[in-house]
Amino acid sequence: MTLSNGIWIGATITGLLGLLLIFSAGRKARLRTLRWLLGLVFVGFALVLGLAGLTLRQYVWLIEDVPVANIQLRQQGTQAFEATLRVGDAPPKVLNLRGDEWQLDARVLRWRLPAALAGLPPVYHLERLSGRYGDPKQELTSPRTVHDLREAWDFWTMKQKYLARLPIADARWGSAAYLPMLDGASYTVFINPRGGLVAKPADEKTEALLRLAGW
């Protein structure tokens, strides 16, 4: 049980006790007034606890990075790699990439008020995995590899067609993460609470490979 859930349970119990005091005030006027006041105090305290639980739930989300993908690499030749992409419970995808670095792009949905006040976290939609060259000049002339990761159903397309005028979400937000392609490397990609992608080495072997590569 999380701390925020425990606070909400406490708020529920306190609120029920307050309501019980209010509706069982008794016949005597002085006793009825005292129970009413005590019941109102309990109900007010329960509301404060509920608000604290909601705030804490959002705060816990705001300090957590959530893993969204794993990328494992095997070198096939000069600036040629085979990438195994794992996203959630979906079957892994084996994709060929050319270049010196891989890049994962995503579009992030950040909620507007009042959904943001309710603590709804940002959601993401992976768009593409591509290879890129360390030298920008080579990027202009060498073969490029880009793999589409979008699903058939796209919230952003629906929003632009049917929901554009409704203030429910801000979909104009993109993020990308990239790191070098190294033979045998494994990376985990996280999304942070602000909606940004962050890539990190998944194991000590990859840490060592990055140090050898000067990263």
pLDDT in tens, 39-64: 888 888 888 777 766 655 645 454 57
Dihedral sign computed on CA atoms, order 149, 152, 154, 157:
positive
Query: Residue type for 182, please?
Result: L
| pLDDT for res 63 | 58
| pLDDT for res 33 | 77
Euclidean distance between CA atoms 48 and 196, whole angstroms: 32
Tokens of 110: 């950040």
DSSP helix/strand/coil, 205: helix
Mean pLDDT score of the chain: 81
User: Comparing C-alpha atoms, which of 65, 174, 190 is closest to residue 127?
Assistant: 174
Q: Could you write out the DSSP letters of every residue in 82-125?
A: EEEEE-TTSPPEEEEEESSEEEEEEEEEEE-TTTTTTTPPPEEE
| pLDDT for res 117 | 60
Residues of the chain with confidence (pLDDT) below 50 = 58, 60, 62
Helix axes 29-62, 3-23, angle to 10 degrees: 170
Tokens of 125: 């939609």
Query: Residue type for 190, please?
Result: F
